[in-house]
Amino acid sequence: MKNQFYLHFPTMPKGTAQQKGYNRKTGRYFKKSKLTNAEHEFKVALIPHRPSNPSDKPIKLTVLFAFDTKNKKLWGQPKPTRPDTDNYLKLFKDCMSADKDGKNGFWLDDAQVWDERVIKVYAESASIMVRWEETDVSGMLEKIGNVDKAIKKAQRETE
């Protein structure tokens, strides 16, 4: 089942999964306010789009982050600057994952996402396009098995 939706923001939430601090006195890590605020904004925006039950199947995910800019020449162009796609997507996927009690998420664990694509562009307004689908990988596993056989055959031939 394919699902697609858009989230709109006054400005793109600032913060990534890497923005944690360390308290030397207590020896514990803590979430910085930018990270906490971004998590809150994402989770609130995601509420109306959540399925009634989180998926337990493998997930294919595409996320397009459109960062607002006043420069019209940049609209639709790639955004090759911070935040890094991997850190920003990690935060967003964490917000889409179910709580520890297995509720309130799109899937139970973000480890279920086996195929992901992330795109960052400039746009007139801040928004996120999300497309996710549960997938059946049975046919793919057969293809992987064939690739494994071909690799082993090539290795034997070169020995």
Task: Taking each helix axis as running N to C, give the angle between helix 33-46 and helix 85-96, from 0 to 180 degrees, rounded to the nearest 10.
Answer: 50
Element (H, E) at 5: strand 2-9
SS (H, E, C) 13-47: CCCCCCCEEEECCCCEEEECHHHHHHHHHHHHHHH
CATH 3.30.1330.70 fits 2-158, yes or no: yes
pLDDT of residue 127: 97
**79 or 19, which is more confident:** 79
Element (H, E) at 122: strand 113-123
Burial class of 62 by CB neighbour count within 10 A (0 to 12, 13 to 18, 19+): middle
Q: Above pLDDT 70, what percent of the chain?
A: 84
CB 140 within 8 Å of CB 23:
no
Structure tokens at 23: 């308290």
Q: Above pLDDT 90, what percent of the chain?
A: 58
3-state secondary structure of 141: helix
Q: What distance in Å separates the CA atoms of residue 19 and residue 90, rounded to the nearest whole number?
A: 12
Is 69 a residue whose pLDDT tops 80? yes
pLDDT of residue 106: 95
30 pLDDT tier (thresholds 50, 70, 90): low
Is 54 a residue whose pLDDT tops 90? yes
pLDDT of residue 35: 78
Global pTM value: 0.79
Average model confidence (pLDDT) for the chain? 86
Query: Region 86-106: what's the mean pLDDT?
Result: 90
Q: What distance in Å separates the CA atoms of residue 27 and residue 96, rounded to the nearest whole number?
A: 29
**21 or 131, which is more confident:** 131
Listed by start position, the domains of the chain span 2-158
